C-alpha cells in the first residue's frame, strides 16, 4: 500500500513569506495530503492550523527546537494545536558531532526532549543531513549516526532524508532496512547528491526511488527541496506528479 505524500514547507519558504495562504492553497490544489512545517512565516499557530484544516491538509510533523527548558510548553502546545504526532529536530551542526562526548551530550538533550514530548503523545524524531553518514577519524571509523544510535533512547525516532544519506556515502536501502519501524517519516529530494549542487524535482536526479520506496514501514513521504535551479513551486508540483503517477505515494 502506498504512503501519503506531504511537502516540507521550507521548500517554498520564499513564496510563503509573501503569500502564506495562497501558497498553501496551491499546494493543496496540487494534491498533497499533508504539510510539514518549519516555522510559519509570520502566521500565528491558530490561523495556520485553521487554514490547514479548511484545506484538509494533515500536519503529521513539524521541525521545531527541542522541547526542553523554558520554551518546552510553548513548543508542545504549538505542536498540539497543529495536530502533529511528530516533533522533528531538523539538524545538529557538523562540528557538534565530531567526538563521542559531543554526540553523547546531544543525545542526552534529545532523550530529555523525547520524554517531554511523549507526555503529550508526541514522538521526537531526528532529521539527518549528509555529515551524519561520514566517518571521521575522530570516531574511529564509525559514523555520527552509528554513535547517536548507541546513546539515543529507543523512543527517539528518525526522519531519514534518503538523498542526504547517499550524499554522505551511506546506502539508503541498507539504512531503511536496518532502522525499519524506527523511521516513521522519510524526506524525499533529488539531484546529483553533491551537497553544494542545487536540487531538482524528484525523478529528475540520480535517486532510485522506485527501488527505495517499495515495502516501506514509514508512515509518510515528505518532499523537501532545500534549493532548486528551477521554479520551486513547479519542482514541488513535478515531484508530486512523479511519485503519485508511479504509485510510489498517494495524494488526495
Q: What is the pLDDT of residues 67-113, one digit of tens each?
A: 999 999 999 999 999 999 999 999 999 999 999 999 999 999 999 99
Q: What is the pLDDT of residues 232-245, one digit of tens each?
A: 999 999 999 999 99
Instruction: Report how many domains make up the chain.
Output: 1
Beta-bridged to residue 201, according to DSSP, are none
How many Å is the Cα radius of gyration of the chain?
A: 17
d(CA 60, CA 203): 24
Residue in the structure block whose three cell numbers are 515531484: 239
Helix (H) or strand (E) segment spanning residue 158: strand 157-161
Looking at residue 229, its pLDDT comes to 85
Residues 199 and 202: their CA atoms lie apart, in Å, by 9
Residues paired with residue 250 on neighbouring β-strands, in sequence order: 4
DSSP 8-state code for residue 67: S
The CA distance from 155 to 249, in Å, is: 26
CATH number for the domain harbouring residue 53: 3.20.20.150
Query: What is the pLDDT at residue 201?
Result: 98
How many angstroms separate the CA atoms of 145 and 142, rounded? 8
What's the distance, CA 198 to chain centroid?
A: 18
Question: What is the model's pLDDT at position 66?
Answer: 98
| Residue 191 pLDDT | 97
Q: d(Cα 156, Cα 197) in Å, to the nearest integer? A: 31
Distance, CA of 95 to CA of 174 (rounded, Å) = 26
Which H or E element spans position 41? none
Q: Are 103 and 60 in contact (CB under 8 A)?
A: no
Ranges under pLDDT 50 in the chain: none
Range of the domain at 53: 3-250
- Nine cell digits for residue 74: 510553548
CA end-to-end distance (rounded Å), the chain: 15
20, 43 contact by CB (below 8 A) = yes
pLDDT, position 215: 82
Amino acid at each position: 500500500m502506498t504512503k501519503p505524500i506531504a511537502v516540507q514547507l521550507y521548500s517554498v519558504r520564499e513564496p510563503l513569506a509573501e503569500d502564506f495562504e495562497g501558497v498553501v492553497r496551491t499546494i493543496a490544489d496540487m494534491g498533497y495530503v499533508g504539510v510539514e512545517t518549519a516555522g510559519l512565516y509570520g502566521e500565528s499557530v491558530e490561523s495556520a492550523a485553521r487554514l490547514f484544516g479548511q484545506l484538509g491538509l494533515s500536519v503529521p510533523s513539524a521541525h521545531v527546537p527541542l522541547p526542553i527548558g523554558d520554551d518546552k510548553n510553548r513548543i508542545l502546545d504549538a505542536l498540539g494545536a497543529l495536530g502533529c504526532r511528530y516533533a522533528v529536530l531538523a539538524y545538529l551542526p557538523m562540528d557538534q558531532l565530531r567526538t563521542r562526548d559531543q554526540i553523547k551530550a546531544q543525545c542526552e538533550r534529545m532523550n530529555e526532549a523525547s520524554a517531554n514530548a511523549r507526555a503529550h503523545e508526541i514522538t521526537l524524531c531526528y532529521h539527518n543531513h549528509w555529515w551524519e553518514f561520514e566517518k571521521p577519524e575522530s570516531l574511529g571509523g564509525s559514523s555520527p549516526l552509528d554513535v547517536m544510535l548507541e546513546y539515543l533512547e529507543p523512543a527517539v525516532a528518525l526522519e531519514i532524508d534518503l538523498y542526504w544519506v547517499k550524499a554522505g556515502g551511506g546506502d539508503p536501502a541498507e539504512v531503511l532496512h536496518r532502522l525499519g519501524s524506527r523511521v516513521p517519516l522519510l524526506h524525499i529530494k533529488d539531484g546529483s547528491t553533491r551537497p553544494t549542487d542545487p536540487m531538482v524535482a524528484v525523478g529528475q536526479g540520480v535517486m532510485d526511488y522506485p527501488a527505495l520506496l517499495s515495502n516501506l514501514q514509514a508512515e509518510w513521504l515528505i518532499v523537501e527541496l532545500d534549493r532548486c535551479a528551477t521554479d520551486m513551486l513547479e519542482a514541488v508540483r513535478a515531484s508530486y506528479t512523479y511519485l503519485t503517477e508511479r504509485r510510489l505515494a498517494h495524494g488526495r
